[in-house]
Structure 1
Amino acid sequence: MRSLHHCPAPAKLNLFLHVIGRRADGYHLLQSVFQLIDRADTLHFDLRDDERIVRTTEVPGVPAEQDLIVRALRLLQAEYARRHGRLPPGIDVAVEKILPMGGGLGGGSSDAATALMAANHLWRAGLSQQELMELGLPLGADIPFFLFGETAFAEGVGEHLQAVQGPDCWYVVIEPGVAVPTPAIFSAPDLTRDSKAVIIADFSSSLISVAKEAGFGRNDLQDVAERLFPPVAEAVAWLARYGDARMTGSGACVFCAFTSEREANQVVAEVPGRWRAWKAQSLPRHPMKSLLQNQAVIE
């Protein structure tokens, strides 16, 4: 098998995000629930006759050498060589990019995770899910979640994951038109860094409400992002008319949950034209897992 096409790299939402401390090395200790949604980038992989890793499409603002996809594949290529004593074939990667950068949706990390899953399959590298998670962590704290591939209660810097039941609902997501750099949020002096720790049972006993009631917890990064990037505050205020609107990740995207696709469609239709908005459904499982299982049956 030399190709694997139409590979999804879905977005995530942080249903809540608390900062509960800071490590000696400066990294913040977090608690969050990560939820996959069915809005996704799409990647296509083709083995090469040499050993190069080549991104064949342009991604505005992201040089290929800095792209997490390329960096992740090179790490896996090196691990393959360490285990097998030779390099695997190179790979051409084409990217259909729709997830915004600096949006808090994890797009770059999701692309890298999908690349690791695809290459592990094409190369028959044999790495387990846990081994892929450990390989990807140095590149980005969100990558292990996308490899974990299901709704997860996350702790540490985001790498300690436990499966948790998530809501079955639709989301309206607004892109406020700004890219929020994560370091700017975490370095802010007024960032809340001492939220009280919670446990999975706290979340599980009060799954995020999807009407006009408040969901569980909050996003501790939101106040800073709203102050530094007023469009985020404007989008939250507008969407809050329909329910519990909040920011995902370190921003900038804002979301609100709804019980039905019809409700989500109605809200999307009313979003002011200065913003990009779309609907998405919650996913209980990463779609790449099914794709690779089906591929294995075919083979």
Structure 2
Amino acid sequence: MRLPAPAKLNLFLYITGRRPDGYHNLQTLFQFVDFGDELAFTPAPELMLSPPLPGVALEDNLIIRAARLLQAHTGCPQGAHIHLTKRLPMGGGLGGGSSDAATTLVGLNRLWRLGLAKHELADLGRQLGADVPVFIHGHAAFAEGVGDIFTAASPPEPWYLVLNPGVEVATPAIFNDPALPRNSPVLSLEQRLSSPWQNDCEGLVKMRHPEVAKLLSWLLEYAPSRMTGTGACVFGTFDRREAAEQALKKAPAGARGFVAKGCNRSPLLTALDAL
């Protein structure tokens, strides 16, 4: 059983305040793209993951953590061999680890015939990361609170050119930086959709990582562009696939990227429908 673990983009990201517990309140718009990692699941006596991710201990990998969490929650004694085809960069703001965890929960729930409902899987996923539930629900969403309160959304589905400047941004470092803006007003989804979109983390990340600033400045010459999440990846919005692909061919040396279609319904749900 092969299932996609698609990337997400934060089409906008506003930090509206810091809570007493240290977490931040935010407003963001998640949308999927038809590009990402892929996981293959095969029945096995024990849990196995291949190939290993460089620099990540097996028990720290979100895929293994998700699988063990599902085993513990259900008392399931079954195992699986999970093969990961990794395409999304780590620390890129594309949600690769969270998407891998979500696809693991969804895939093993199907492989092991556990019958857990989507909301039960999302509750488990929340223990692994704030972004995991949106990948499990599988629909574009306006997220509020600490990113855990979702409202379904249907933004346009353009073509995107997503570029990685080759640096890894640590999300905790950005959220703990005193220079991060934390005073954006709380607006309704309708107000956000009708206003110019921005990412409150972008200025700080560009200051800390000149590579991001340089790549974003280049991309803005071709299309409306922003950073996703806390970076480091940036994306430009195009009406036509051909225009995005032409821009990709001209990308600066050292930048890696891909062209993908925006999807309000996750490719994961489409793949599950076909099983």
TM-score (norm 1): 0.89
Counterpart residue identity of residue 233, structure 2: C
Residues 1:68 and 2:55 aligned together = no
| Runs of 5+ consecutive residues of structure 1 not aligned to the other structure | 82-86, 207-215
Which residue is equivalent to 2:19? 23
Which residue is equivalent to 1:137? 126
Q: Displacement of 1:129 after TM fit?
A: 1.0
Which residue is equivalent to 2:37? 41
What root-mean-square deviation, in Å, do the aligned CA atoms of Structure 1 and Structure 2 show?
Answer: 1.2
Contact 1:30 1:155 (8 Å CA) reproduced: yes
Partners in 1 of 2:149 and 2:230 — Cα distance? 19
162, 175, 178: which one aligns with 2:151: 162
Counterpart residue identity of residue 132, structure 2: I
Counterpart residue identity of residue 254, structure 1: V
Partners in 2 of 1:293 and 1:38 — Cα distance? 16
Counterpart residue identity of residue 267, structure 1: A
Q: Displacement of 1:196 after TM fit?
A: 0.5
Contact 1:164 1:204 (8 Å CA) reproduced: no
SS of the equivalent of 1:25 reads coil
Which residue is equivalent to 1:264? 244
Which residue is equivalent to 1:209? none
Residues 290 and 277 (structure 1), Cα distance of their counterparts in 2 relative to 1, 3 Å cut: closer
Contact 2:163 2:234 (8 Å CA) reproduced: yes
Q: How does 1:71-110 map to 2 (within 5 A)?
A: 71-81=65-75, 87-110=76-99
Which residue is equivalent to 1:187? 176
SS of the equivalent of 1:114 reads helix
After TM superposition, the structure 1 stretch with the greater mean CA deviation from structure 2, 256-265 or 269-278, is 269-278
After TM superposition, the structure 1 stretch with the greater mean CA deviation from structure 2, 284-293 or 148-157, is 284-293
Counterpart residue identity of residue 216, structure 2: V
Deviations 1:136-161 (Å, cap 9, x if unpaired)?
Answer: 11211110110111111011111111
Partners in 2 of 1:93 and 1:157 — Cα distance? 31
Counterpart residue identity of residue 143, structure 2: A
Deviations 1:88-137 (Å, cap 9, x if unpaired)?
Answer: 31111110001000000000000000000001111121211111111111
Partners in 1 of 2:90 and 2:113 — Cα distance? 31
Residues 1:290 and 2:270 aligned together = yes
After TM superposition, the structure 1 stretch with the greater mean CA deviation from structure 2, 105-114 or 20-29, is 20-29
Q: Displacement of 1:288 after TM fit?
A: 2.0
Q: Displacement of 1:266 after TM fit?
A: 1.3
Contact 1:55 1:92 (8 Å CA) reproduced: yes
Q: Displacement of 1:166 after TM fit?
A: 1.5
SS of the equivalent of 2:143 reads strand
Counterpart residue identity of residue 61, structure 2: D
Partners in 1 of 2:267 and 2:207 — Cα distance? 36
SS of the equivalent of 1:139 reads coil
SS of the equivalent of 1:73 reads helix
241, 256, 262: which one aligns with 2:221: 241
Q: What is the total number of aligned residue pairs between the two structures? A: 275
Q: How does 1:206-285 map to 2 (within 5 A)?
A: 216-285=196-265
Partners in 1 of 2:184 and 2:192 — Cα distance? 15
Partners in 2 of 1:24 and 1:228 — Cα distance? 26
Which residue is equivalent to 1:13? 9
54, 57, 73: which one aligns with 2:51: 57
TM-score (norm 2): 0.97
Which residue is equivalent to 2:101? 112
